[in-house]
Structure 1
Amino acid sequence: MQIGLTTSPTSAKKGSMAMLPFQPTPFFKDKNRAFWRLQLIGWGGALLLRAATSLANERGFDFLILVLIFTVTGFSISTVLSVIYNRLINLNPLVTWSTTAIVLALAVGVSAFISAWTIDVYQGGSEASFAQLMLGVFYIDMTLLAAWSALYYAINFFLQVEEQMDRADKLEAQATSAQLAMLRYQLHPHFLFNTLNSISTLVLLQQTEPANKMLTKLSSFLRHTLITEPGAKVTVAQEVETLQLYLDIERMRFEEKLRTEFRVEKDAAKGTIPSFLLQPLVENAIKYGVSAQEEGARISLSAIVIANRLRLTVSDTGPGLQGQQTPAEAVKRKQTSTGVGLANIVERLQQAYGEDHHFDIETPPDGGFTVIIEIPYEPFEEAQSALPNAVTPQPQPQPAIAAPASAPASPSATPQPFGQPPTGAPA
């Protein structure tokens, strides 16, 4: 009998752990510097365009002085507008847009007045009245400053959306991390209680040497558990080393009843998986396979890579499913408070890979129980480069157990509006 609990459509949404971290737009990483760069580029381009137009119309080089004055005026007025807009952008939309329209009209009026006065002085009193000159430049200045204002608000709204997405991603990551921690901390109570009971029995029987040996192994296992981050990924080789620590303790309880066989390919050993993913499978195999039979059982673990997929198989030679229980019921069955079921693993896989995983159960008619997990193959080096801010295991010399190091989380920067001339200067 075989049951497939999940599928792996390539278009499925990935789990949170598979998501790339949010990357801010590089140009706007320093908003102040970006503002001044855009100011210089924009008004510098306007200066060159006006100068080229003037020379093409054969106005003479002396007219370039007027073009320079127009540009400096626009640059200065737009800088003042940025200070005002910074105070308006987070207000009620009605207040923001109505005040912006009034301020923009005043700014255009000031700019048109300066431009008309400059032209009047340059021409030494033209036939056109000052009002006609001002009206002529009013439309040009209105176009320039209105376009500048629209671009300013558009950039700020774009950055606000990015910051909101960043905060949402961080909150989702925190929620996922908390859920993973909850799932991880459910793994060991059953094993811990049994081990402590065994140690207590050995002490009562005054078998101090095996009790001390078991306590030492338990201490090593728990130390490794505590230094491993709940959301961390480890290599298959590291997971196997952790299982060996666990099995060393259980072997003291069951002795020859517990037999193990590990077959891990070289490439598969480099693949990364969620930490302590396989331990509950081995624990279930001991609980329902080894301890359920007088002769014990053999627990086998294999890890292979097939078509860029990592396949992990944990099986035992125990009695298998009893009675009328189906594989689906075995996964969904709620355990007592002293243990967790296979549903824990399914949920962790869902958190880590979304729908891009397989979780299969095989129950041969003659007994035994096999769990097959298939996930994307992510070698240790590729996993590091793909998730630079994620907690990843640090390679250690063999045969020591590798202790994943937790990278300190970078604090989120306080959002600030784009363009604050009083607090920055052109780079």
Structure 2
Amino acid sequence: MGYQELLQNKQYLFWTLQFVGWSGWAMSFYLGIVMWGRPPDNYGFYLPTIAMIGMTITLGLRWMYHLTWDNGLLTRVVAILGGSYGAAVLWMFSRGVIFYNAFPEERKVYEGGSMSFFSYFDGSVSAFWVMLSWSALYFGIKYYLLMQEERQRSLKAMNMAHEAQLKMLRYQLNPHFLFNTLNAISTLVLDGNNSLANVMVTRLSRFLRYSLDNDPMLRVTVAEEIEALQLYLDIEKVRFDERLRLHFDVDSAASEALMPSLLLQPLVENSIKYAIANAIDGGSIAISASVTGRDLELVVADDGPGLDLRNGRLPKGGGVGLANTRERLKALYGNKQSFRLSTTEPHGLTITIRIPLENTTDSE
């Protein structure tokens, strides 16, 4: 059983610690007796017996602590101190009875000397420290487990919020894309070009199925991302025909690298909106992927009018697609990513993304 499984199984953890703790006490007590001389013959029976009795008495302490767990601090302190001392007296009484009957030779020594049976209760002070130590460990481990549970709940809530944020960032782009595509289909129908409209509906269906079937929390290979991007561009090709010119350059080393699904689609959509749709002669979009050191570099460049960039950052009102992609990268990779905007020479916009290189073999 692993460490995490042990922490989650509280009953198993409790009895494991009970056995280990009391066995350790019995062993240390035995070694202490050996240091002072030869232990009595029946000590091999005596020590395990009183350790078992001590373990049984602490079950009563555990029950009492359960009853007072939700009470005030003062009540719990009184329960710990009073319960530990009461448990110590009971334990020492049991030890005295067993010792008095198990070691008749030692009993004669005590009865003939300064010690009597009842003087054995003097050891209740040391037993009190044993029980108090058990109580302290019990509460310490109990609070630690509660803190771990609270931490797990907090992490789970954060992960759920994190996942919801990522899904929102990606899926809120779909209405904008659908609006443009349905407008184009409507135009084709009004123009009587029903066959082309049917082709566009089919391609739209394929792209949306891919989009909905892929969890935004999961990663896909660059090759799969390019294939999905081509589904999207097949739709746009119907709208723009020869006005949309595409260039792909994907290194073989980068094709099997992992990346967030549909990361490039909103960037390409942004280029189509600003570089292709508003230009009489259309324009070009270049998409590349390469491995640079330990990073995967993804580039989307167009030859449109570009943006008024300040320090390579997106100005206000620069488009929901770019802003959402940047936020999605931050949510997924934190400071281990970069999202940089630059000017395409002689004009246009180049978007360069760098994320940690991760291959399919690394995720298995």
Does residue 112 of structure 2 align to residue 132 of structure 1?
no
Which is helix-richer, 1 or 2? 2
Structure 1 counterpart of 2:257: 271
> Equivalent pairs: percent with the same residue?
37
1:142-161 to 2 correspondences below 5 Å: 142-161=128-147
Please say if 1:173 is aligned against 2:159. yes
Measured after TM superposition, the shift of residue 311 of structure 1 is 0.7
Contact 1:54 1:63 in 2 (8 A): no
* Residue correspondence of structure 1 range 182-201 to structure 2 within 5 A: 182-201=168-187
Residue identity opposite 2:241 in structure 1: E
SS at match of 2:197: helix
Normalized against structure 1, the TM-score is what? 0.78
Question: In structure 2, what is the Cα distance between the partners aligned to 1:190 and 1:34?
Answer: 54
**Aligned-pair CA distance for 1:306:** 0.8
Q: Deviations over 1:27-86 (max 9, x none)?
A: 323221121112112222323333344455223212433323322221211222222223
Q: Which residue of structure 2 aligns with residue 288 of structure 1? A: 274
Counterpart position of 1:424: none
Q: Does 1:205 align with 2:185?
A: no
User: Residue 186 of structure 1: CA displacement?
Assistant: 1.9
The amino acid of 2:24's aligned partner reads G
Task: Report what 1:105 is aligned to.
Answer: 85
Work out whether 1:38 is the aligned partner of 2:17: yes
Deviations 1:266-306 (A, max 9, x none): 22122222222111110011111111222211111111111
Range that drifts further, 113-122 or 223-232? 113-122
The 2-side partners of 1:109 and 1:341 are apart by 73
Contact (CA 8 Å) 1:27, 1:34: kept in 2 or not? Answer: yes
Shift of 1:353: 1.0
Residue by residue over 1:116-155, the C-alpha shift from the partner in whole angstroms, topping out at 9 and shown as x without a partner, is: 23333441572423432111x2123122212211111111
Rg (Cα) greater in structure: 2
What is the distance in 2 between the residues matched to 1:129 and 1:170? 61
- 2:162, 2:331 within 8 Å by CA — same for their partners in 1? yes
SS at match of 1:25: helix
User: Residue type matched to 2:279 in 1?
Assistant: Q
Change in Cα spacing, 1:297 to 1:241, as seen in structure 2 (3 Å) is same
Question: Counterpart in 2 of 1:232?
Answer: 218
Mean Cα displacement is larger for which, 70-79 or 90-99?
A: 90-99
Report SS of the residue matched to 2:355.
Answer: strand
Structure 2 Cα separation of the partners of residues 327 and 193 of structure 1: 31
Q: 5+ unaligned residues in a row in structure 2: which ranges?
A: none
Q: Which residue of 2 aligns with 1:120?
A: 100
CA distance in 2, matches of 1:187, 1:334: 16
User: How far off is 1:373 after superposition?
Assistant: 0.7
User: Following TM superposition, by how much is the alpha carbon of 1:368 offset from its aligned partner in structure 2, in angstroms?
Assistant: 1.6
Q: Distance in 1 between matches of 2:233 and 2:327?
A: 24
Which residue number corresponds to residue 73 of structure 1? 53
Displacement of 1:261 = 0.9
CA deviations over 1:242-274 (Å, ceiling 9, x no partner): 100000000011001111111111221222222
Equivalence for 2:28? 49
Amino acid of the residue matched to residue 296 of structure 1? G
1:88 CA displacement:
3.3
Distance 2:7 2:47 in 1: 30
Per-residue CA distance 1:365-390 (angstroms, 9 max, x = gap)? 621210111111111232x34xxxxx
Judging changes above 3 Å, is the alpha-carbon distance between structure 1 residues 62 and 341 closer, same or farther for their aligned structure 2 residues?
closer
Higher RCO structure (Cα 8 Å, ≥6 apart): 1
Distance (whole Å) between structure 2 residues aligned to residue 288 and residue 37 of structure 1: 67
Contact 2:296/2:357 (<8 A) preserved: yes
Match status 1:342 vs 2:322: yes
Offset, 1:201: 1.6
Kept after mapping to 1: 8 A contact 2:302/2:344: no
The whole-number CA distance in structure 2 between the counterparts of 1:270 and 1:94 is 63
- Displacement of 1:111 in angstroms is 1.0
Distance between the aligned counterparts of 1:190 and 1:120, measured in 2? 89
Matches of 1:159 and 1:60, distance apart in 2? 42
Residues 330 and 117 (structure 1 numbering): CA distance in 2 closer, same or farther, change over 3 Å?
Answer: closer
Query: Counterparts of 1:221 and 1:93 in 2: how far apart (Å)?
Result: 61
Q: Find the counterpart in structure 1 of residue 309 from structure 2.
A: 326
Cα–Cα, structure 1 residues 262 and 93, in superposed 2: closer, same or farther, change >3 Å?
Answer: farther
1:215–1:297 CA distance, 2 compared to 1 (3 A)? same
Going from structure 1 to structure 2, the CA distance change for 1:270 and 1:202 (only over 3 Å counts) comes to: same
Q: 1:93 aligns with which of 65, 73, 76?
A: 73
Report the equivalent of 2:233: 247
Measured in 1, the distance between the counterparts of 2:231 and 2:141 equals 56
TM-score w.r.t. length of structure 2:
0.90
Contact 1:24 1:162 in 2 (8 A): no
Q: Which moved more, 1:190-199 or 1:208-217?
A: 190-199
Distance in structure 1 (CA, Å) of the matches to 2:128 and 2:269: 75
SS of the residue corresponding to residue 326 of structure 2 reads: helix
Corresponding residue for 1:380? 360
> Do the aligned partners of 1:332 and 1:343 also contact (CA within 8 Å) in 2?
no
223-232 vs 348-357, which moves further: 223-232
For the structure 1 residues 365 and 302, does the alpha-carbon distance in structure 2 shift closer, same or farther, using more than 3 Å as the test?
closer
Q: Aligned runs of 1:10-25 on 2, under 5 Å?
A: 25=4
Between the two proteins, the alignment pairs up a number of residues equal to 355
